[in-house]
Amino acid sequence: MDLEQTLRVARGDAPADLALRNGSLINVYTGEIYVTDVIIADDEIIALGPGYQAREEIDLAKRYIAPGFINAHVHIESSMINPPQFARAVVPLGTTSVISDPHEIANVCGLAGIRYMLDVTEGLPLSVFVNASSCVPATHMSTSGAELDAAQLATLLDHPRVLGLAEMMNYPGLILGEPNVLAKMEAFKGRIVDGHSPGVSGAWLNAYVAGGVGSDHECTTAEEAIERLRLGMYLLIREATGARNLMDLLPAVTLENSRRCCFCTDDYHVTDVLSDGDIDHLLRQSIAQGLDPVTAIRMATLNPAEWFRLYDRGAVAPGKRADLVIFADLADIRPELVFSGGRLVAHNGEPVGDWPVPTVDQSPVRDTIRVDWDSLDKRAFHIPAQGSKARVIGAIESQIVTNHLIEEIPWENGLAVTDLERDILKMAVIERHLGTGNVGLGFIHGFGLKAGALATSVAHDHHNIVVVGVDDQSMYTAACAVGEMGGGFATANKVQVMATLPFPIAGLMSDQPAEAVVVAMDTLQKSAAALGSKLHDPFMTLSFMALEVIPTLKLTDQGLIDVEQFKPVKLFVE
Amino acid sequence: MDLEQTLRVARGDAPADLALRNGSLINVYTGEIYVTDVIIADDEIIALGPGYQAREEIDLAKRYIAPGFINAHVHIESSMINPPQFARAVVPLGTTSVISDPHEIANVCGLAGIRYMLDVTEGLPLSVFVNASSCVPATHMSTSGAELDAAQLATLLDHPRVLGLAEMMNYPGLILGEPNVLAKMEAFKGRIVDGHSPGVSGAWLNAYVAGGVGSDHECTTAEEAIERLRLGMYLLIREATGARNLMDLLPAVTLENSRRCCFCTDDYHVTDVLSDGDIDHLLRQSIAQGLDPVTAIRMATLNPAEWFRLYDRGAVAPGKRADLVIFADLADIRPELVFSGGRLVAHNGEPVGDWPVPTVDQSPVRDTIRVDWDSLDKRAFHIPAQGSKARVIGAIESQIVTNHLIEEIPWENGLAVTDLERDILKMAVIERHLGTGNVGLGFIHGFGLKAGALATSVAHDHHNIVVVGVDDQSMYTAACAVGEMGGGFATANKVQVMATLPFPIAGLMSDQPAEAVVVAMDTLQKSAAALGSKLHDPFMTLSFMALEVIPTLKLTDQGLIDVEQFKPVKLFVE
Spatial distance between the Cα atoms of B37 and A62, rounded to a whole number of angstroms: 51
The confidence score (pLDDT) of residue B399 equals 85
What number is the average pLDDT over the span B123-129?
97
Q: Does B230 contact chain A (CB < 8 Å)?
A: yes
- A306 neighbourhood in chain B, CB within 8 Å: 306
Residue B231 is nearest to which of A6, A206, A318, comparing CB atoms? A318
Q: Is A287 exposed, middle or buried (0-12, 13-18, 19+ CB in 10 A)?
A: buried
Q: Does B318 contact chain A (CB < 8 Å)?
A: yes
For the stretch A344-354, pLDDT in tens is: 999 999 999 98
The confidence score (pLDDT) of residue B502 equals 98
What number is the average pLDDT over the span B390-397?
96
SS3 of A484-536: the string is HCCCEEEEEECCEEEEEEECCECCCEECCCHHHHHHHHHHHHHHHHHCCCCCC
Residue A105's contacts (CB-CB under 8 Å, 6 or more residues apart) are A77, A113, A114, A116, A117, A365, A505, A506, A508, A509
Residue A386, SS3?
A: coil
Contact A47 B206 (CB under 8 A): yes
Residue of B nearest to A31 (CA): B256
- B47 neighbourhood in chain A, CB within 8 Å: 203, 206-207, 210
Residue B48 is nearest to which of A206, A226, A255, comparing CB atoms? A206
C-alpha to C-alpha distances, B301 to B47, B64, B265, B308, nearest whole angstrom: 19, 15, 15, 11
Residue A398 has pLDDT above 90, yes or no: no
The confidence score (pLDDT) of residue B539 equals 95
Q: How confident is the model at residue A527 (pLDDT cuts 50, 70, 90)?
A: very high
Residue B29 is nearest to which of A45, A51, A232, comparing CB atoms? A232
- B257 neighbourhood in chain A, CB within 8 Å: 29-31
For the stretch A184-233, pLDDT in tens is: 999 999 999 999 999 999 999 999 999 999 999 999 999 999 999 999 99
- A32 neighbourhood in chain B, CB within 8 Å: 230, 256
Q: Does A410 contact chain B (CB < 8 Å)?
A: no
Contact B206 A318 (CB under 8 A): yes
Contact A30 B203 (CB under 8 A): no
- A315 neighbourhood in chain B, CB within 8 Å: 232
Residue B160 has pLDDT above 90, yes or no: yes
Contact A47 B203 (CB under 8 A): yes
Residue A98 has pLDDT above 90, yes or no: yes
Residue B454 has pLDDT above 90, yes or no: yes
Residue A206 is nearest to which of B30, B47, B294, comparing CB atoms? B47
Contact B257 A294 (CB under 8 A): no
Residue pair A553/A540 in contact (Cβ under 8 Å)? The answer is: no
Q: Does A207 contact chain B (CB < 8 Å)?
A: yes
Q: What are residue B231's phi and psi, to 5 degrees?
A: -85, 0
Residue of B nearest to A182 (CA): B3
- Looking at the DSSP bridge assignments, the partners of residue A58 are A20
Residue pair B495/B462 in contact (Cβ under 8 Å)? The answer is: no
Contact B210 A6 (CB under 8 A): yes
Residue B574 has pLDDT above 90, yes or no: no
The confidence score (pLDDT) of residue B28 equals 98
- B212 neighbourhood in chain A, CB within 8 Å: 3, 319
Q: How confident is the model at residue B398 (pLDDT cuts 50, 70, 90)?
A: confident
The confidence score (pLDDT) of residue A241 equals 87
Best probe of the A interface among B27, B30, B313, by most A CBs < 10 A, is B30
Q: How confident is the model at residue A1 (pLDDT cuts 50, 70, 90)?
A: confident
The confidence score (pLDDT) of residue A422 equals 97
Spatial distance between the Cα atoms of B337 and B89, rounded to a whole number of angstroms: 14
The ipTM, to two decimals, is 0.95
Q: Does B209 contact chain A (CB < 8 Å)?
A: yes
For the stretch B546-561, pLDDT in tens is: 999 889 999 999 999 9
Spatial distance between the Cα atoms of A388 and A167, rounded to a whole number of angstroms: 42
For the stretch B51-106, pLDDT in tens is: 999 999 999 999 999 999 999 999 999 999 999 999 999 999 999 999 999 999 99
Distance from CA of B342 to the nearest CA of A (A): 15
Residue A364 has pLDDT above 90, yes or no: yes
What number is the average pLDDT over the span B260-276?
96
- B51 neighbourhood in chain A, CB within 8 Å: 202-203
The confidence score (pLDDT) of residue B80 equals 97
Residue B369, SS3?
A: coil
The confidence score (pLDDT) of residue A41 equals 98
Residue A203 is nearest to which of B47, B231, B254, comparing CB atoms? B47
Contact A29 B260 (CB under 8 A): yes
Residue A47 is nearest to which of B210, B317, B318, comparing CB atoms? B210
Chain A 286-315, residues with CB within 8 Å of chain B CB atoms: 294, 306, 309, 315
- B11 neighbourhood in chain A, CB within 8 Å: 175-176, 203-204, 207
Instruction: Please work out, in degrees rounded to the nearest 5, the angle formed at the alpha carbon of residue B264 by the alpha carbons of A210 and B275.
Output: 110
| Secondary structure E strands in A190-320 | 192-195, 215-216, 234-240, 243-244, 261-264
- B186 neighbourhood in chain A, CB within 8 Å: 3
The confidence score (pLDDT) of residue A243 equals 86
Q: What percent of chain A has pLDDT over 90?
A: 96
What number is the average pLDDT over the span B27-41?
98
The confidence score (pLDDT) of residue A242 equals 82
Distance from CA of B427 to the nearest CA of A (A): 40
Helices B3-11, A202-210: crossing angle, 10 deg rounding: 160
Residue A399 has pLDDT above 90, yes or no: no
For the stretch A536-573, pLDDT in tens is: 899 999 999 999 988 999 999 999 999 999 999 999 99
- A12 neighbourhood in chain B, CB within 8 Å: 203
Residue A406 has pLDDT above 90, yes or no: yes
Alpha-carbon Rg for chain A, nearest whole angstrom, is 25
For the stretch B358-386, pLDDT in tens is: 999 999 999 999 999 999 999 999 999 99
C-alpha to C-alpha distances, A331 to A261, B463, B492, nearest whole angstrom: 20, 59, 73
The confidence score (pLDDT) of residue B242 equals 81
Residue A230 is nearest to which of B30, B51, B260, comparing CB atoms? B30
> Average per-residue pLDDT in chain B?
97
Residue A293 has pLDDT above 90, yes or no: yes
The confidence score (pLDDT) of residue B354 equals 87
Residue B278's contacts (CB-CB under 8 Å, 6 or more residues apart) are B69, B71, B89, B90, B93, B94, B95, B265, B268
Spatial distance between the Cα atoms of A327 and A337, rounded to a whole number of angstroms: 7
- B306 neighbourhood in chain A, CB within 8 Å: 306
Q: Does B175 contact chain A (CB < 8 Å)?
A: yes
Spatial distance between the Cα atoms of A213 and A228, rounded to a whole number of angstroms: 11
> Average per-residue pLDDT in chain A?
97
Spatial distance between the Cα atoms of B458 and B542, rounded to a whole number of angstroms: 9
What number is the average pLDDT over the span A112-127?
98
The confidence score (pLDDT) of residue B357 equals 86
Residue B243 has pLDDT above 90, yes or no: no
Preceding amide of A251 cis, omega within 30? no
Residue A255 is nearest to which of B27, B182, B255, comparing CB atoms? B255
The confidence score (pLDDT) of residue A574 equals 81
Residue B555's contacts (CB-CB under 8 Å, 6 or more residues apart) are B393, B427, B429, B440, B441, B442, B444, B545, B546, B561
Chain B 1-30, residues with CB within 8 Å of chain A CB atoms: 3-4, 6-12, 27, 29-30
For the stretch B315-345, pLDDT in tens is: 999 999 999 999 999 999 999 999 999 999 9
Contact B182 A212 (CB under 8 A): no
Q: Does A320 contact chain B (CB < 8 Å)?
A: yes
CA B39 to mean position of chain CA atoms: 35
- A51 neighbourhood in chain B, CB within 8 Å: 202-203
Residue A494's contacts (CB-CB under 8 Å, 6 or more residues apart) are A452, A471, A473, A474, A477
Contact B318 A232 (CB under 8 A): yes
CB pairs < 8 Å spanning A and B: 178
Spatial distance between the Cα atoms of A388 and A411, rounded to a whole number of angstroms: 8
